[in-house]
Each structure stands twice: as structure tokens, then as C-alpha cells.
Amino acid sequence: MSLTTAPPGSTAPSPTAPAGSAAPASRRWIYVVLHTAGRRVLAEPGGLLVSLVFYGLVVAVLAGLWSAAAEANGGTVAGYTAIALTWYVAVSEAATVSLNIRMIDDIGRDIGGGAVAVELLRPASVLGVRMVSELGRALPRLAGCLAAGTLLATATAGGPPRPAALALTVPSLVLALMCNIAAQHAFAASAFWLRDAGTAWFLYQKLVFVLGGMLIPLEVLPGWLGRAAALLPFRAMAYAPARLASGHMEPVLLLEQLGWLAALVVGAGLVFRAGQRRLQVVGG
């Protein structure tokens, strides 16, 4: 067996490595991680219930505020009726409350504390396993929030403004979760350099709250801010499914989300790879 000279930092495969026993090519892990992560949430119904109660409270308060604003403004705000606004906040909140609220902070702690080093010992993408696991945890919560939101919006404001548009909301919500998870991983990767992602977490939340349309439909934002929001990926994370749920039949929003998802996954992959490389060269 001959030794291969190791140029520092090189990542090319070893020319002397024997054949066989390569890292697994099967994608079964995606299903298993998704499924196990989902079961993990369902195994703790208390946590799920707390999320749903929190979600219900936030939706009730925001729907009340927006309905009052619409009433005071002659029945609409930026073209949204009180019913549309109620459905809007029910879906925009579902898109964000379903996710681990401290995701960036948790990832940052794992990177800064060195737990990610253990994940590098597995024959799978660290980022891939983490993102699939987060999606698996979010999907049961999303189902719960959707059910609770539908009941709440129907009971307090009335049925969906446009049921056909509502049908597009479900796939749009799943895409919103995926975009959000990818973006949060990209932000959290700052911990590879800063050792902590607390600041990134604080900043990210505010960006999604406002520029993502979680609290406010983007049409309500002042001109320059609205134009900025239109150019940024955050609108794919709450605004897109909420806009559909509020009765706007705009399938292009799904295409836009797909585009952002591809860009965010590539972006997160590049940042994570650079971070991992730094960890491997500089140490953790």
C-alpha cells in the first residue's frame, strides 16, 4: 500500500484509494430522516400543543388588528379586505411558526461548540441532513397550524376568499418552509467565522417579519421598502403562500419560490462548504 502525498487543503479524491465501500449513493436517508424527525415532533404532543396555542393567539391578535385597520380604512387595506387579511395572517404565521424558532441560534451553537465536527464523520452532507431534519420537524407543525388556522379564520372572518387559490397555498407553504430553512442555514453558517450566530438570528427574524411579509402584506410597505422586498428572497418565505391564501390566484408565485429555493440551497451550500473548509483547515 503506497502513501499518497497530501497537498494541504486538497480535496481531490485519492488516486490510490481502493475501489468499493464508497459513501452511500442511496437517497433512502432523505425519507428516513424526514420521517423520523416528523415522528419526533408527534411523540411530544405537549410541545406541538404549545406551538399551536401560540400560533392561535398571534393569528387572533393580528387578524383583529388588520380587520380594525381595514374597517377604519373603508373596508380594505392595500386592496385586501378584512377576510383576506385574516386568511393572509393565518397562512403567513403558519409558514413561520411551524419552523424551529431558534434554528439559526441552534445551528450556530452546534458550529461554535464543535458538534458539527461529529456530523462531518458521516458519509452524507452535513447541510443536507440538517435541512431535511428541520423540514421533517416542521411539516407536522405546519399541518397542525393549517388546521387550526382554517378553523380560526373561518370562525372569525368567514371561508377562504377564493378556494381555488387556497389549493395552491399548501405547496406554496412547503416551498416557503424549504426556502426559509435554506436561508437560515446560510445565515447560521456565519458561526463558522464568528463562533456564534446570535446576531445573525436577531437580524434574520426582523427581515422575515417585515420584508418577508409575515406581519404586513408587502403592498402596505412604503414605496422604496416595497421595491426592496420585491427583490429579496424573504417574500418567498411568508408573503407568497399568504398572498395566495388571501384570494390572489397568482401561480407565478410558486415559480418564483422555486427559483429562490434553488438559489438559496446553492447559496447555503456554498457558505456551508466554505465554513466547513475553514473548520477543516483552521480547526474548531
Partner 1 sequence: MRHPGWMTAATAATAASRATAGAAIEVRGLTKAFAVGRRHARRRIEAVRAISFTIDSGERVAYIGPNGAGKSTSIKILTGILHPTGGEANVLGVVPWQDRRRLAARIGTLFGQRSLLWFELTPRQSYRMLAAIYGLDARQERTRVAELADLLEAGELFDVPVRNLSLGQRMRCELGAVMLHQPEVLFLDEPTIGLDLLAKQRFRELLVRLNGERGTTIFLTSHDVADIEHVAERAIVINHGSVIYDDAVATMRRRLMATKLVEVGLAEPSERVAMAGVAVLEHSPTRMKLVVDTATTPIRDVVDALLDDHDVADISVVDPPLEQVIAEIYGLPQR
Which one of 1, 72, 231, 252 is in contact with partner 1 (CB under 8 A)? Answer: 1
Decide if residue 3 touches partner 1 (CB under 8 A).
yes
Region of 44 (left: φ > 0; alpha: ψ -120 to 50; beta: rest) is beta
Which one of 46, 74, 123, 223 is in contact with partner 1 (CB under 8 A)? Answer: 123
Decide if residue 232 touches partner 1 (CB under 8 A).
no
Decide if residue 231 touches partner 1 (CB under 8 A).
no
Select 117 or 207, whichever has its Cβ closest to partner 1.
117
Q: Which stretch binds partner 1 (CB under 8 A): 148-156, 164-172, 191-199, 276-284?
A: 276-284
Which one of 13, 46, 75, 223 is in contact with partner 1 (CB under 8 A)? Answer: 13
The alpha carbons of the chain give a radius of gyration, in whole angstroms, of 21
What's the min distance (Å) between Cβ of 213 and partner 1? 32
Buried/exposed 240-251: b ≥16 CB within 10 Å, e otherwise: bbbbbbbbbeee
Select 5 or 74, whichever has its Cβ closest to partner 1.
5
CA–CA distance, 96 with 138 (Å, rounded to integer): 9
Decide if residue 9 touches partner 1 (CB under 8 A).
yes
Select 8 or 163, whichever has its Cβ closest to partner 1.
8
Counting beta carbons within 10 angstroms of the beta carbon of residue 197, is it exposed (0 to 12), middle (13 to 18) or buried (19 or more)? buried
Tell me the DSSP string of 117-149. HHHTTSSS-HHHHHHHHHHHHHHHHHHHHHHHH
The distance in angstroms from the start CA to the end CA of the chain is 32
Decide if residue 72 touches partner 1 (CB under 8 A).
no
CA–CA distance, 270 with 225 (Å, rounded to integer): 28
Q: Which stretch binds partner 1 (CB under 8 A): 140-148, 214-222, 256-264, 275-283?
A: 275-283
Decide if residue 46 touches partner 1 (CB under 8 A).
no
Decide if residue 44 touches partner 1 (CB under 8 A).
yes
Decide if residue 220 touches partner 1 (CB under 8 A).
no
Counting beta carbons within 10 angstroms of the beta carbon of residue 1, is it exposed (0 to 12), middle (13 to 18) or buried (19 or more)? exposed
Q: How many CB atoms lie within 10 A of CB 83?
A: 21
Decide if residue 122 touches partner 1 (CB under 8 A).
yes
Region of 190 (left: φ > 0; alpha: ψ -120 to 50; beta: rest) is alpha
Of residues 80-119, those binding partner 1 (CB under 8 A): 114-115, 117-118
- Backbone φ, ψ for residue 14 (5° rounding): -70, 125
Q: Which stretch binds partner 1 (CB under 8 A): 10-18, 140-148, 171-179, 240-248?
A: 10-18
Decide if residue 24 touches partner 1 (CB under 8 A).
yes
Residues that bind partner 1 (CB under 8 A): 1, 3-6, 8-14, 16-18, 21-26, 28-29, 31-33, 36, 39-40, 43-44, 114-115, 117-118, 120-124, 129, 279-283
